[in-house]
Amino acid sequence: MFSGKVVLITGASSGIGAETAWEFSKHGANLVLTGRNEDNLDMVSKKCENISPNKLQPLKIIADINKEKDIEYIIETTITSFKKLDILVNNAGILKSGTIETTSLQQFKDIMETNVRGPYYLTILAAPYIIQNKGNIVNVSSVAGLRSFPNTLAYSTSKAALDQFTRCVALELAPKGVRVNAVNPGVIVTDIHLRAGMSQQEYQEYIEKCKYTYPLGRPGEPKEVSSVIAFLASDAAKNITGATLPVDGGRIVMCPW
């Protein structure tokens, strides 16, 4: 399905990013994987190589999406190595909790730089190459971008911004044959909440609560998001652009409390 395509995935060292890398590998894509954790990225890359039909080895780039020079290096290295870019998956992101009374300006800055500014600049640099190949872009947002939740003010604001970014870029690039969409996951079983500061006990209680806050009665799995990302990036979705697609077990239709 993606044989001969060059796919760039940010935040590929764990969680949804790792699963997305494996999903594209199964379908024969040439991958560019970025992340900050070299050991994890090595593990993800090795599995990609093992499951790739042609045993294709991904190009690994250790980079920080918050640094302009790193973003420039990602695109430069991709084009130098493959001479083209077909698909961009803006997956890298961070989560922090806080309300208007407890969120610091520094937290807001950190979240916006990672979740919005990084994808914004990477998309700017990637766009000419994606236009050239009439490729597409998939942004990894959140159900928190589509509706409000308590204690996630900066995070929810960043994801709402990413959704609007998705729609605006989709409108701008559609005449050039480029599609731009977003997936909006609900709670997915990854380590993002633990990295955000939750204790193991708090996290387990949070996951348990999903039985009652999600119509399907459970949190999601990374694989359930990566398969939708691959669908949106494929020709099966060639008439879909500007979409923000919930992958949230029905959370969006439930009371936020």
Three-class secondary structure assignment of 69-97 = HHHHHHHHHHHHHHCCCCEEEECCCCCCC
User: pLDDT tens, 183-235?
Assistant: 999 888 877 766 767 788 877 877 788 788 888 888 889 999 999 999 999 99
Mean pLDDT across 165-190: 95
Sequence-separated (6 or more) residues with CB below 8 Å from residue 14:
35, 37, 40, 44, 190, 191
Rounded Cα distance between 124 and 203, Å, is: 36
Residue located via tokens 């909440």: 193
Rounded Cα distance between 57 and 97, Å, is: 37
Residues with a catalytic annotation lie at 155
Mean pLDDT across 152-167: 97
Which residues, listed in sequence order, are joined to residue 179 by a DSSP beta bridge?
136
Rounded Cα distance between 256 and 134, Å, is: 39
- Statement: residue 49 has pLDDT above 80: yes
Q: What's the pLDDT score for residue 256?
A: 55
Rounded Cα distance between 183 and 248, Å, is: 10
CATH class of the region 6-247: alpha beta
For the chain, the structural domain boundaries read 6-247
Q: What's the pLDDT score for residue 196?
A: 67
User: pLDDT tens, 113-140?
Assistant: 999 999 999 999 999 999 999 999 999 9
Beta strand pairing status for 87-90 and 179-185? unpaired
